[in-house]
Amino acid sequence: MSSRAVSRPVGSVTRGTTNPNRLRRMDRWIAHTQGGELRRVGDPVAIDLGYGASPWTAVELLERLRAVAPGVRVVGVEIEPARVAGAKRYERDGLVFLHGGFEIPVSGRVSLIRAANVLRQYDEDEVAGVWERLCGRLAPGGLVVEGTCDEVGRRHVWVALGVEGPRSVTFAAHLGSLERPSELAARLPKVLIHRNVPGQAVYAFLRDFDQAWATAAPLASYGARQRWIQAVRYLAADWPLVGGVGRWRQGEVTVAWEALAPGR
Confidence band for 7, pLDDT divided at 50, 70 and 90: low
Q: 122: exposed, middle or buried (C-beta count within 10 Å: 0-12, 13-18, 19+)?
A: middle
Number of residues written out for the chain: 264
* Residues 91 and 60 grouped into a single domain: yes
Domain end point (choices 163, 198, 221): 163
125 within a domain of the structure (yes/no): yes
User: Distance between CA 20 and CA 104 in Å, rounded?
Assistant: 24
245 within a domain of the structure (yes/no): yes
Identify the CATH number of the domain in which residue 109 sits. 3.40.50.150
* Residues 87 and 154 grouped into a single domain: yes
- Tell me if 222 sits within 8 A of 145, measured CB to CB: no
* Residues 74 and 124 grouped into a single domain: yes
**Full-model pTM:** 0.94
- Tell me if 196 sits within 8 A of 202, measured CB to CB: yes
Instruction: Say what angle helices 224-235 and 201-215 make with each other, to 10 degrees.
Output: 130
Domain end point (choices 163, 193, 228): 163
15 within a domain of the structure (yes/no): no
List CB contacts of 41: < 8 A, sequence separation 6 or more.
111, 139, 141
Domain end point (choices 101, 131, 163): 163
Which residue would you say has higher pLDDT here, 4 or 249?
249
- Tell me if 100 sits within 8 A of 77, measured CB to CB: yes
Q: pLDDT (tens digit, 9 = 90+) per residue, 81-109?
A: 999 999 999 999 999 999 999 999 999 99
DSSP tag of 13: -
55 within a domain of the structure (yes/no): yes
95 within a domain of the structure (yes/no): yes
Q: How many domains does the chain have?
A: 2
Residue 189 φ then ψ, to 5°? -60, 160
Q: pLDDT (tens digit, 9 = 90+) per residue, 141-178?
A: 999 999 999 999 999 999 999 999 999 999 999 999 99
Confidence band for 15, pLDDT divided at 50, 70 and 90: low
* Residues 76 and 189 grouped into a single domain: no
Q: pLDDT (tens digit, 9 = 90+) per residue, 129-139?
A: 999 999 999 99
80 within a domain of the structure (yes/no): yes
- Tell me if 44 sits within 8 A of 77, measured CB to CB: no
User: Distance between CA 148 and CA 188 in Å, rounded?
Assistant: 7
Q: pLDDT (tens digit, 9 = 90+) per residue, 216-264?
A: 999 999 999 999 999 999 999 999 999 999 999 999 999 999 999 998 6
User: Distance between CA 9 and CA 181 in Å, rounded?
Assistant: 37
Whether residue 12 is predicted with pLDDT greater than 80 in this model: the reply is no
Question: What strand order describes the sheet that includes 138-149?
Answer: 95-99, 73-78, 45-49, 110-116, 138-149, 155-162, 165-173, 252-256, 241-242
CA dihedral 178, 124, 19, 2 (to 10 degrees): 140
